[in-house]
């Protein structure tokens, strides 16, 4: 199809359409720009909430609430958690990716999937399983254990994708200069993984800041668990707002550190010709130790949680499958997931269209606002919506619309990134040709651009659906009375120490998450191969 367009251009058939002109968006550039600006302003609501509440509190009171022993304790817990967990995730993620992609590891196709599988288990389900196995589990190192086993795939997936597309010529050149395998890895291969490592480390760090259920279950205090306690005791009190402001500040620091740590080096392959075949380092005597290490990691991160979920299901018998409790939770999870995914995908289109078809510093700035907001923990976003809805429009507090709006803000980048990639691969010349033949911009957009972008948009919607199905904190704070999702029902029953009753909800969250996790892994490999 692209070849036909190129031939038409060479024959001059598109001259009447105005060669080089960008296709008009369905509602005009100004309308799309206005929609994108409104979306950006809407996405900055949580930041505006934090700034407003800090200013309204007054500097003296704010400083008194921030600089107190409790905040110092939470800050120490958070810093230690991140300083230990993020490096461990980097070691496990990069190490697993290197074994799968760059060694003669046996069964590497199976291990490639198994190392991504723990991502299908929500961290609070992982914590539930480990508490079932070791009831005395609590404190910092318990948090490190659960967080590491839950989040190392966030590093493994991008690292494996990067290694699979890394040109082995750089390693061959290093070997020709006399560097051994290990020296070549640390001096040549590891620097090429900088983007994957910094991006994966950022995701791990943001998840650590946002996580509530996993740490609350093992009685490990973080900013998120403390904010939730403050909210439940004083209903969005001043102390909770100040904790939220500190949490937002830490998130912004993480974003700045990640951007600066990317560096300015070029990682793209610019030479001509076919890429050389990857060299696989023989493991020899290390084959069985590598197999046992991966087996142990997989059993701890995926096998143990699944085992204890199934164990509690067997222990609970048929009584835990009461249809009047389980079916409504499953249906509401599916409905909220579908509605949130659809709304997020629709909202993402104007921003993505402006970023791809009318790229400028203006569109990049608008797009950046969404990433900043999505990095904030769900509890901060939820508190912003609670405050705004109660003070400005009380009638919408705890309604489905507010909850869906929070989902949109939290997970907009998941749809935006996919739609942007889909639009970039949809030739604008086809839209131009359709408009040159007399088709109105809206009709040509639906018939051409929208159809070509649909697969990418569906992938983004699937990722948003997965995130909503496992979302806990925002749903607990914003859901209408009577709402029962798999995550909230699981949390309700596990909080009452009804571990058998919570097991079916955990199992279905895993069943829903597993295909989406596999899709994410396959998509990363597909992108790596392009």
Give domain status of residue 11, yes or no.
Answer: no
Q: Among 273, 301, 329, give the residue marking a domain's end.
A: 301
In the predicted model, is pLDDT for residue 387 greater than 80?
yes
Mean pLDDT of 369-380: 80
Rounded Cα distance between 135 and 499, Å, is: 12
Say yes or no: 179 and 95 in one domain.
Answer: yes
Q: Return left, alpha or beta for 222; rule: phi > 0 is left, psi -120 to 50 is alpha, else beta.
A: beta
Residue 374 shares a structural domain with residue 422: yes
**Over the stretch 37-76, which tens digit does the pLDDT of each residue have?**
888 888 888 888 888 888 888 888 888 888 888 899 999 9
* CATH number for the domain that contains residue 471: 1.10.3720.10
**Is residue 327 domain-shared with residue 297, that is, in the same domain?**
no
The Cα 86–Cα 514 span in angstroms is 24
CB 373 within 8 A of CB 409: yes
Tell me how crowded residue 138 is: count the other CB atoms within 10 A of its CB: 15
pLDDT at position 10 over 60: no
Residue 442 pLDDT? 60
pLDDT given at position 307: 96
Residue 527 has pLDDT above 60, yes or no: no
> Among 271, 273, 290, which Cα is nearest to 281's?
290
Residues 150-155: what's their mean pLDDT?
A: 92
Q: What is the mean pLDDT of the chain?
A: 81
Q: Is the pLDDT of residue 7 over 60?
A: no
Tens of pLDDT along 256-278?
887 777 655 545 454 444 455 56
CB < 8 Å & 24+ apart, contacts of 323-330? 325/484, 325/489, 326/504, 326/505, 328/484, 329/484, 329/485, 329/486, 329/488, 329/489, 329/505, 330/486, 330/508
Specify the pLDDT at position 13.
41
Is 276 in contact with 169 (CB distance < 8 Å)? yes
Residue 18 lies in a domain: no
With beta carbons less than 8 A apart as the criterion, state whether 432 and 17 touch. yes
Distance CA 194, CA 210 (A): 24
Measured between alpha carbons, how far is 341 from 325 in angstroms, rounded to an integer?
25
DSSP run (H or E) holding 498: none
Residues 87 and 179 in one domain: yes
Task: Give the pLDDT confidence score for residue 15 in this predicted structure.
Answer: 41
Question: Is residue 428 assigned to a domain?
Answer: yes
Decide if 439 contacts 20 (C-beta within 8 A).
Answer: no
296 against 243, higher pLDDT: 296
Query: Are the C-beta atoms of residues 255 and 375 closer than 8 Å to each other?
Result: yes
Ranges 141-150, 440-449, 505-514: which has the least confidence = 440-449
**Cα separation, 382 vs 390, whole angstroms:** 12
Cα separation, 46 vs 159, whole angstroms: 32
Each residue's pLDDT tens digit, 471-496: 998 998 898 988 889 999 999 999 88
Average pLDDT (201-220) is 90
Q: What is the pLDDT, as a whole number, of residue 313? A: 93
Three-state secondary-structure class, residue 293: helix
User: Among residues 301, 327, 347, which one ends one of the domains?
Assistant: 301
Q: Could you tell me if residue 181 is inside a domain?
A: yes
Per the CB < 8 A criterion, the answer to whether 322 and 387 are in contact is: no
Round to whole Å and give the CA distance between 527 and 530.
5
Q: Which residues contact 517 (CB under 8 A, 6 or more apart)?
A: 116, 117, 119, 120, 466
Q: Provide the pLDDT confidence category of residue 89 given band limits of 50, 70 and 90.
A: very high
For 165-196, b where at least 16 C-beta lie within 10 A, e where not — what string? bbebebbeebbeeebeeeebbeebbeebbebb
Mean pLDDT of 318-340: 87
**DSSP state for residue 187 in the 8-state scheme:** I
**CA-to-CA separations, 16 to 8, 22, 436, in angstroms, rounded:** 12, 13, 7
Q: Residue 372 contacts by C-beta under 8 Å, 6 or more apart in sequence?
A: 44, 47, 252, 255
Instruction: Kindly indicate the confidence band of residue 5, based on its pLDDT and cuts at 50, 70 and 90.
Output: very low
Q: Are residues 321 and 432 in the same domain?
A: yes
pLDDT (0 to 100) of residue 95: 92
| Same-domain status, 251 and 330 | no
Separation in Å, CA 325 to CA 308, 471, 491: 21, 19, 14
Instruction: Give the number of other Cβ atoms within 10 Å of residue 110's Cβ.
Output: 13
71 and 89 belong to one structural domain: yes
Collapsed DSSP state (helix, strand, coil) of residue 42: helix
Structural domain includes residue 397: yes
* Structural domain includes residue 32: no
- Contact criterion met (CB below 8 Å) for 380 and 501: no
Domain that holds residue 294: 43-264+286-301
Q: Which three-class secondary structure string do you get for 78-139? A: HHHHHHHHHHHHHHHHHHHHHHHHHECCCCHHHHHHHCCHHHHCCHHHHHHHHHHHCCCCCC
Give pLDDT, residue 430: 62
292, 375: one domain = no
Distance CA 414, CA 321 (A): 33
356 and 297 in a common domain: no
- Name residue 90's beta-bridge partners: none
Confidence tier at 178 by pLDDT (50, 70, 90):
low
The pTM for the full model equals 0.81
Put residue 20 in one of left, alpha, beta given phi > 0 → left and psi -120 to 50 → alpha. left
Q: In the predicted model, is pLDDT for residue 163 greater than 50? A: yes
Over 50: is that where the pLDDT of 12 sits?
no
In a domain, 36, yes or no: no
Is pLDDT at 3 greater than 50 in this prediction? no
Dist CA 198 CA 285 (whole Å) = 32
The percent of residues above 90 in pLDDT, for the chain, comes to 30
How many domains does the chain divide into?
2
User: What is the distance between the alpha carbons of residues 408 and 347, in angstroms, rounded to a whole number?
Assistant: 8
pLDDT at 174 over 70: no
Q: What are the tens digits of pLDDT across the range 397-426?
A: 888 999 999 999 999 888 887 787 777 766
In a domain, 279, yes or no: no
Specify whether 166 is located in the same domain as 215.
Answer: yes
CB atoms inside a 10 Å sphere around CB 329: 21
Note whether 14 and 436 are within 8 A (CB): yes
Asked if residue 391 and residue 365 are part of one domain, the reply reads yes
Cβ(477)–Cβ(231) under 8 Å?
A: yes
Please tell me whether residue 281 adopts helix, strand or coil conformation. strand
Are residue 317 and residue 459 in the same domain, yes or no? Answer: yes
Higher pLDDT, 198 or 140: 140
> Is 224 in contact with 379 (CB distance < 8 Å)?
yes
pLDDT tens across 181-197, in order?
A: 667 777 777 777 887 88
- The mean pLDDT value for 365-371 works out to 77
């Amino acid at each position: 199809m692209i070849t036909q367009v190129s031939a038409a251009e060479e024959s001059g058939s598109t001259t009447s359409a105005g060669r080089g002109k960008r296709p008009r968006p369905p509602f005009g550039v100004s309308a799309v720009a206005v929609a994108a600006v409104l979306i950006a302003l809407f996405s900055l609501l949580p930041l505006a909430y934090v700034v407003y509440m800090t200013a309204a509190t007054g500097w003296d009171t704010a400083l008194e609430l921030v600089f107190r022993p409790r905040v110092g304790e939470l800050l120490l817990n958070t810093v230690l958690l991140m300083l230990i967990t993020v490096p461990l995730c980097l070691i496990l993620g990069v190490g697993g990716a290197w074994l799968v992609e760059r060694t003669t590891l046996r069964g590497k196709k199976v291990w490639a999937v198994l190392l991504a599988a723990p991502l299908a288990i929500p961290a609070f389900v992982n914590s539930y399983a480990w508490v079932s196995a070791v009831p005395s589990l609590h404190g910092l190192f318990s948090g490190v254990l659960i967080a590491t086993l839950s989040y190392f795939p966030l590093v493994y997936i991008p690292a494996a994708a990067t290694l699979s597309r890394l040109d082995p010529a750089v390693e061959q050149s290093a070997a020709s200069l006399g560097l051994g395998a290990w020296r070549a890895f640390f001096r040549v291969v590891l620097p090429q993984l900088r983007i994957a490592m910094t991006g994966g480390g950022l995701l791990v760090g943001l998840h650590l800041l946002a996580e509530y259920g996993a740490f609350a279950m093992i009685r490990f205090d973080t900013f998120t668990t403390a904010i939730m306690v403050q909210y439940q005791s004083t209903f969005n009190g001043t102390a909770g707002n100040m904790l939220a402001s500190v949490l937002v500040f830490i998130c912004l620091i993480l974003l700045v550190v990640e951007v600066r740590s990317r560096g300015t080096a070029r990682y793209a392959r610019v030479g001509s010709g076919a890429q050389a075949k990857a060299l696989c380092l023989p493991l020899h005597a290390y084959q069985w130790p590598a197999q046992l290490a991966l087996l142990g990691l997989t059993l701890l991160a995926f096998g143990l949680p699944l085992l204890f979920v199934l164990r509690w299901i067997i222990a609970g018998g048929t009584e835990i499958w009461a249809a009047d409790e389980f079916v409504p939770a499953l249906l509401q999870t599916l409905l909220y997931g579908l509605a949130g995914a659809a709304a997020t995908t629709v909202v993402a289109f104007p921003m993505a269209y402006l970023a791809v078809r009318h790229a400028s510093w203006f569109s990049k700035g608008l797009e950046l606002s969404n990433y900043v907001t999505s990095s904030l923990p769900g509890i901060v976003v939820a508190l912003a919506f609670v405050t705004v809805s109660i003070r400005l429009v009380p009638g919408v507090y705890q309604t489905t619309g507010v909850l869906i709006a929070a989902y949109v803000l939290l997970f907009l980048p998941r749809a935006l990134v996919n739609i942007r990639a889909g639009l970039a691969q949809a030739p604008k010349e086809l839209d131009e040709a359709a408009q040159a033949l007399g088709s109105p911009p809206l009709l040509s957009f639906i018939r051409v651009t929208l159809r070509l972008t649909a697969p990418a948009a569906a992938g983004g919607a699937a990722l948003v659906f997965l995130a909503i199905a496992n979302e806990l904190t925002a749903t607990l704070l914003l859901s209408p009375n009577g709402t029962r999702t798999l995550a909230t029902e699981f949390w309700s029953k596990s909080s009452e120490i009804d571990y058998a009753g919570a097991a079916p909800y955990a199992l279905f969250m895993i069943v829903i998450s597993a295909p989406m996790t596999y899709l994410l892994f396959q998509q990363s490999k597909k992108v790596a191969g392009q």
